[in-house]
Amino acid sequence: MNLVYPWRDAPAARFAVIGDPVSHSLSPKMQNPVLRELGEPGEYVAIQVPEIEVSLALDHLAQLGFEGINVTVPNKSAARQWCERVSEFASAAEAVNTIALQRREGTNTDGPGFLETICQFPGRRATVLGAGGSARAIVLSLSAAGYEVRLWNRTEAKAHELAAVIPGVVVLIEPTVADADIVINATSASLTGAVLELDWSTADPEAVAYDLMYSSEPTAFLAAAGSRSKLDGRAMLVAQGALAMEFWLGRPVPREPMRRAVGL
């Protein structure tokens, strides 16, 4: 658990992650070692910000001199509204997860970070389970990278809404892991402990199971995937965090200190 500051009591620091809740975030544990590795001054802290107070909080943190902010759920949409400039990808994803605070510029490193973590795996068929904010960024990135994307969501209408704005995405009526090179769990099931009804015996033995969530133990989704190659949300956390730091610092950022910090 992080030391978490209410935004009105934020310390003098250089970078932060904001969310509600935010105590579970591994970002401070991951980002501070890379700042030290790079010889950069300043600290990275965790700050509690309720969704309805995002604009007030960002104004306050900017006045305190913060340079960069990462944004986690449920604040990514409100953060997008606060920014004066937003990258093309963040606009399409309808979410900002990284802000250069002093110039009020937002971007989204979730999708590009995700792609960075799967570049070593062959195959171009992806099945995405879930249709929320993280799923949107991932589906956009997969589609742009030339993957065949199939999408399932418990509320089918929401999956159709997402597929309608991303050409080529196919909506699944039932969740399945068949005919996929990589299966991505972007639902909240791993947060709540719910088990998705998936028949892994129908999956390709070489298929990759990827859960965007992370915990101290393998999630039920990853446990069910058996001996297949697996990734959890720490891989994406590192990649998107490194891209965020590069956005702020304007220089390459090594991944290895971040990977070690989160146990990869």
pLDDT in tens, 50-90: 999 999 999 999 999 999 999 998 999 999 999 999 999 99
In a domain, 157, yes or no: yes
How far is Cα 176 from Cα 66, in angstroms, rounded to an integer? 44
Q: Do residues 144 and 77 both lie within one domain?
A: no
Are residue 148 and residue 198 in the same domain, yes or no? yes
Residue 224 lies in a domain: yes
| Among 109, 138, 44, 77, CA closest to 247 | 109
Same-domain check for residues 121 and 102 = no
- The burial of 250, by beta-carbon neighbours within 10 Å (0-12 exposed, 13-18 middle, 19 or more buried), is given as exposed
Statement: the pTM of the whole predicted model exceeds 0.85 = yes
- CB hemisphere CA count around 185 (13 angstroms): 27
Do 116 and 199 lie in one domain? The reply is yes
Mean pLDDT of the chain: 94
Same domain as 56, residue 82: yes
Same domain for 125 and 191? yes
Based on the domain organization, do 203 and 185 belong to the same domain?
yes
Catalytic site positions: 76
110-149 tens-digit pLDDT: 999 999 999 999 999 999 999 988 899 999 999 999 999 9
- Tell me whether residue 50 is exposed, middle or buried, using C-beta atoms within 10 angstroms of its C-beta: 0 to 12, 13 to 18, 19 or more: middle
Total structural domains within the chain: 2
Instruction: Provide the CATH number for the domain around residue 224.
Output: 3.40.50.720
pLDDT reported for residue 46: 98
Q: What is the pLDDT of residues 223-254, one digit of tens each?
A: 999 999 999 999 999 999 999 999 999 999 99
| Residues 154 and 185 reside in one and the same domain | yes
Residue 216 is predicted with a pLDDT of: 78
194 and 212 inside one domain? yes
Residue 177's domain spans which residues?
A: 112-235
Do 129 and 93 reside in the same domain of the chain?
no
Does 249 fall in a domain?
A: no
Residues 133 and 219 in one domain: yes
